[in-house]
Amino acid sequence: MTNGTEQRVRVPWFPRYHRVRPLLQVWSGRPKNQITGLQATLGKLRGTPQKPVDWTDPDTWIFERLSGDDQDLAWAIWTKSGKTVNPRYTDGQWHLIQKYELLEDATDGNLRLTRDGQNFINHERGKTESFLDEQEGLIKLLTLVANNGPTRPSGILEEWTEYLNRYSSPFSSPSTLRDTLGRRLRNLLDRGLVDRKSAMYSVTDLGLEYLRQVGTEEALGGDEKQELWSLAKKQETLVRESLRDLLINMDAFAFEHLVKRLLEEMGYQNVEVTPSSGDGGVDVIADIELGITSVREVVQAKRHRRTIQRKELDALRGSLHRFNAVRGTIIATSQFAKGTKEAAFESGAAPITLIDGDKLIDLLIEHDIGVRKQTLKVLTIDHEAFTAALAEEA
């Protein structure tokens, strides 16, 4: 229920802004029926779940499946966007542009940029973009990430749902609620306003600066709240660096058991630390459920400052058969050499997952190993409650 409040979060298939800007320029100067005509043509070619159509290569399908104006427009979308916008997937961009009138009908029968559309193209985080962010819930979502991060999407889904129940009527089913959240998070991530490590999202310094800039009701909380966000970011950085130092200086045996605990928290079963001698470079063995199959995996725990080279990956891969394993993982406190990364999923060879120091720290934080998360409750004024009370009295 929206209870008569201002409608927000209205655009389905919410796009990333870098995929909207080139379309404004491509569509400007063309008749509207050419854009809708291409969309109608593509709709007829979608196929069925039993016979899906492959749209991954516009360089090929544009000329195989389209002709005339449809082909001309699709090729313009593909090439003038630097081959970043697949012409098959532009419904979200069209909804956004139409809803907020970034294009309008000109007297010659073609579409043309409005002043808002021009501002959107020329100014990132400018007047138009900020307005879209407020109207489509991105400011609210950025605030939720700032308040709760690092967080999984599921950690802010309840608050996001409450926001949509108040402001948005089009989206109410669990699947559409999750979809609106996921698409808008990807938009914020694409713009550098949030960061994602593993599956955890946190606000960036640019995101905090943007919240200070927009100063809307969702973003406001006074200078004190902004300072709390900044302090939380600094604390997160300090904790990550402290974790890094602790991991590098751990006893090798203790590090292997830390990896064992992490694997157990991640859902692995039958996790065992191997004897220190004769393990062939394998430190931990475990089973993981993949669908209906249980797979044996071997893990090498490397507590080093130096870069991990390919020869160490090859040695682990060569030890898989000794443990009846079909895949392996190297968990390191350092980084991996380029050749090591390239060989990890080499065609025809057993896959080896690489978890470097940054990813290891992400996983430890995500699973609350070696860190404690404390919740600080901050009281703020709910102006809407007073407004609603006055409205009821009237």
- pLDDT higher than 80, residue 379: no
* Half-sphere exposure (Cβ direction) of 268: Cα atoms closer than 13 Å: 20
Q: What is the CATH number of the domain that holds 314?
A: 3.40.1350.10
48-102 tens-digit pLDDT = 888 889 999 999 999 999 999 999 999 999 999 999 999 999 999 999 999 999 9
Let me know the angle formed at the C-alpha of 126 by 143 and 234, rounded to the nearest 5 degrees: 40
Residue 219 domain-assigned? yes
On whether the CB atoms of residues 290 and 272 are closer than 8 A, the answer is no
Q: Indicate whether 325 belongs to any domain.
A: yes
- 222 has pLDDT over 70: no
User: What's the pLDDT at 390?
Assistant: 58
Q: Higher pLDDT residue, 197 or 374?
A: 197
Closest CA to 96 of 143, 137, 37, 126: 137
Which pLDDT does position 89 carry in this prediction?
A: 96
- Whether 8 is covered by a domain: the verdict is no
Residues 98 and 151 reside in one and the same domain: no
Shared domain check, 122 and 22: yes
The whole-angstrom separation of Cα 261 and Cα 276 is 18
Same domain? For 65 and 156 the reply is: no
| Residue-number span of the structural domain to which 73 is assigned | 17-131
Mean model confidence pLDDT for the chain:
89
Above pLDDT 90, what percent of the chain? 67
Q: Assign 107 to helix, strand or coil.
A: coil
How high is the pLDDT of residue 291? 80
The CA distance from 10 to 168, in Å, is 7
What pLDDT score does 3 carry?
44
Q: What is the mean pLDDT of residues 281-292?
A: 88
pLDDT for the residue numbered 2: 43
Closest C-alpha among 106, 379, 348 to residue 222 = 379
pLDDT at residue 228 in the model: 73
Are residue 346 and residue 279 in the same domain, yes or no? Answer: yes
Tens of pLDDT, residue by residue over 342-375, are 999 988 899 999 999 999 998 998 888 988 877 7
Residues 32 and 127 in one domain: yes
Question: Is residue 366 assigned to a domain?
Answer: no
For the segment 241-256, the average pLDDT, to the nearest whole number, is: 92
What's the average model confidence in pLDDT over 44-48? 87
Is 9 inside any structural domain? no
Helix (H) or strand (E) holding 295: strand 293-302
In this predicted structure, what is the pLDDT of residue 172? 78
End-of-domain residue from the set 64, 97, 131:
131
Q: Which of 125-129, 194-198, 213-217 has the lowest mean pLDDT?
A: 213-217
At 129, is the secondary structure helix, strand, or coil? helix
Mark whether 290 and 237 lie in a shared domain. Answer: no
Q: Is-cis flag, bond preceding 150, omega within 30? A: yes
pLDDT at position 225 over 70:
no
pLDDT in tens, 203-214: 998 998 999 888
Percent over 70 (pLDDT), the chain = 90
Closest Cα to residue 58, out of 44, 37, 73, 68? Answer: 73
Asked if the model's pLDDT at residue 290 lies above 70, the reply is yes
Give the phi and the psi of residue 118 in degrees, each rounded to 5. Answer: -65, -40
Q: For residue 155, what are its two tokens?
A: 């950690």
Mean pLDDT is lowest, of 18-22, 85-89, 249-253, 386-390, for 386-390
Q: Are residues 158 and 211 in the same domain?
A: yes
Q: Is 97 in the same domain as 27?
A: yes
Quick one: average pLDDT of 8-22?
A: 95
Question: Nearest CA to 354 among 292, 308, 304?
Answer: 308
Closest CA to 308 of 353, 365, 241, 268: 353
pLDDT of 333 > 80? The answer is: yes
> CA–CA separation, 166 vs 392, rounded Å?
17
CA 345 vs CA 98, 317, 340, 382: distances in Å: 44, 11, 10, 52
174-210: b (≥16 Cβ within 10 Å) or e: eeebbebbebbbebbbebebbbebbebbbbbeebbeb
pLDDT of 167: 86
